[in-house]
Structure 1
Amino acid sequence: MRVGFAVPQSGPWATPQNMRVIAAKAERLGYHELWTFQRLLYPVGHPMGATYRSVHDPVVTLAYLAGVTSTIRLGVAVINAFVQPVPLAKQLATLQTVSDGRLTAGIGLGWLVEEFEAAGVGYEGRGRRGEEFVEVLRTSWTDDVVEHQGRFYRVPPSHMDPKPSPAPPPILLGGTAEVALRRAGRLGDGWVSSSREDLSRIGPRIDLIRSSAREAGRDADALRFVCRGVTQVRQGGLPDRRPLTGSYEEIRADVASLEAHGVTDVFHDLNFDEEIATADPEDAMRRAEEALEALAPA
């Protein structure tokens, strides 16, 4: 099991200084990967919660952290397909190169209609759009002459250089519906769960993805299964406790259980604990640094 940690990205504690502190300590403690997420906007009056109210751009955040770290990997979970794939391909290729190949690119379909509207992208056909989106990314990173004529995207014969070095970043796909899970098995280098995932049922989802990969003639054992841990440190013994909420001992036991169900990576994301996202920055950092130490990989 590889263990990662999400950097401060949402709310008052998400300052450049705090990002640097968490990134440096996570690298020193042996965490595998630093993680970010995307939220383009927050519609007025929307009930989605404080975590999404104020969120830094994930790619810019990772580029910043690439310059203050040297070995820890850098992941985004996820960038949604309401952005344009060619400019994103250029950004991610550059980030992969300047970080010396440490990037993991999580790609999702998106679910907030207002973000599609603001980006000038249609909401319909998101699944087909997402598949074409991934195709454009990979073509941009590998083909000498990049050309694409699809339903959603068109790229005239062009050179898109430099290519990402030392290799294209792996692409993890998000999603919870059966069709999305099968898509991850057919097309992705792995799957990343959402913040709303029922972790008590994650095993069957992984089994379905692996089965879909085998049906497509792919090596299911090569896939990564990344769990976004909506980690909330609380007093132990909570009734109806959900996975990754509770004492440090309970959370560590949950990580071991996730591994037994096929998860290859888990990252602890305190941004989704509203007690952190809305707290005084100093208090949030005190709690985060304590969790970073307590949950560090062995």
Structure 2
Amino acid sequence: MDLGFALPVSGAWSSAESVRLVARRAEALGYASLWTFQRLLHPVRADWSATYVSVQDPVVTLAHAAALTQRVRLGVAVLNAPYVPPLVLAKQLTTLDVLSDGRLDVGLGLGWAAEEFEAVNVPRAERVGRTVETVECLRAIWGPDPVRFEGTYVNVPEAIVQPKPVQQPHPPLLMGGSVPAALERVGRLADGWVSSSRQDLRRVGQDIDTVRTAAERAARDPGVLRFVVRGVVRLGSEISDRDGRRRLLTGSIDQVQQDLDTLGEQGVTEVFVDPNFSPDVVSPTVEPARSLGTALELLERLAPPIGPPGSETST
């Protein structure tokens, strides 16, 4: 199972200096990937948590990280597919894949925030249909020219769309979701699944089985799918679930390491540690240096046991 780490895109630890530091250090330590996520706004009269108050653009941040690194993969978990036209999204993602020499992983989601749908002038009721068409349209755009796509929400007239991605046939397309219908959609359409920050990790094996079964029904090979878990790790703090059991990835370093092994046994192919969803890191009441220090402790203590040859030269 691969281990990744999230870039500092949210809250107290987020800064240009922190992005540079984490990107370079994670690669040097042998992490497999760096991750971002998307949030456009935070309503004045709501509390979505400190994580969502101030969030950098995920694609721009990954482009910056691409220039700072050579080996580590670059993922977004997730971009909300209905928010922009697929042609615009394809141009951004293709450019990033080219500039990173083919290191991009694309996570797509439906979006959930009514306020964001209002702000981008897209009906929330259309989110499933628009997301499905976005996946189909991206694959058409990334295929051979001339490109042509006609759908309910999206139309691309016959055209040459260049450049094409470095990765062929295209960068991996992962999809989010937690309810059965969403998991089945992943199995039918995507190259893998990425979990949310609130996923019940004790049942992740069941969720993976749902995706795999849907892939088989769609005559797709479930063995090639990726299963990526966002790991909200809290070292030194045992957090209880509603049933009173310790939440996975919380507690001592030994407990967290055992939890990572458990996730691998359930079929997870990658976990990325994401301090952006930890109050100890993103809270506006935490001094930025202390916030970054907490995240760097996670980065160092959870690092893969053996880095790739020559990785120490990446710093």
TM-score, with length taken from structure 2: 0.92
Q: Report the alpha carbon displacement of residue 235 of structure 1 after superposing the two structures with TM.
A: 4.3
- Deviations 1:194-225 (CA, angstroms, capped at 9, x unpaired): 11111111111100100111111111010000
Structure 1 residue 227, shift from structure 2 partner: 0.3
* C-alpha displacement of 1:247: 1.5
CA contact under 8 A between 1:96 and 1:102: conserved in structure 2? Answer: yes
Report the aligned-residue RMSD: 1.3
Q: Is the 8 A contact 1:20 1:68 kept in 2?
A: yes
Larger deviation, residues 275-284 vs 189-198: 275-284
Question: Which residue in 1 is equivalent to 2:257?
Answer: 252
1:30·1:296 contact (CA, 8 Å) conserved in 2? yes
Rounded Cα–Cα distance in structure 2 between residues aligned with 1:261 and 1:23: 29
Code of the residue aligned with 1:273 in structure 2: it is S
Going from structure 1 to structure 2, the CA distance change for 1:206 and 1:166 (only over 3 Å counts) comes to closer
Give identity over the alignment, percent. 50
Which residue of 272, 288, 295 maps to 1:288? 295
Structure 2: any 5+ residue segments left out of the alignment? Answer: 306-315
State the number of aligned residues: 298
Is contact 2:238-2:247 (8 Å) kept?
Answer: no
- Partner of 1:67, secondary structure, is helix
Aligned partner of 2:215: which letter? A
- The Cα offsets for residues 229-277 of structure 1, whole Å up to 9 and x where unpaired, read as 1111224697732011112111111110101111110000011001100
| Structure 2 counterpart SS, 1:56 | coil
CA distance in 2, matches of 1:28, 1:53: 30
User: Partner of 1:124 in structure 2?
Assistant: 125
Partner residue, 1:189? 191
Say if 2:176 and 2:186, in contact at 8 Å, map to a contact too. yes
TM-score, normalised relative to structure 1: 0.97
Q: Which runs of 5+ in 1 are unaligned?
A: none
Q: Residues 44 and 99 of structure 1: is their aligned pair in 2 closer, same or farther, counting only changes over 3 Å?
A: same
CA distance in 2, matches of 1:4, 1:11: 20
What is the Cα deviation at residue 83 of structure 1?
2.0
Matched, 1:264 2:269: yes
Partner of 2:32: 32
CA-CA distance at 1:14 after TM superposition: 0.5
Alpha-carbon distance in structure 2 between the residues aligned to 1:166 and 1:52: 31
Partners of 2:93 and 2:143 in 1: how far apart?
13
How far did residue 284 of structure 1 move?
A: 1.3
Provide the C-alpha distance between the structure 1 equivalents of 2:145 and 2:239, rounded to a whole number of angstroms.
58
Structure-1 residue corresponding to 2:210: 208
Alignment partner, residue 64 of structure 2: 64
Name the residue aligned to 2:309.
none
Structure-2 change in CA distance of 1:46 and 1:235 (3 Å):
closer
Equivalent pair of 2:66/2:99 in contact (CA under 8 Å): yes
Q: Alignment partner of 1:105: what SS?
A: strand
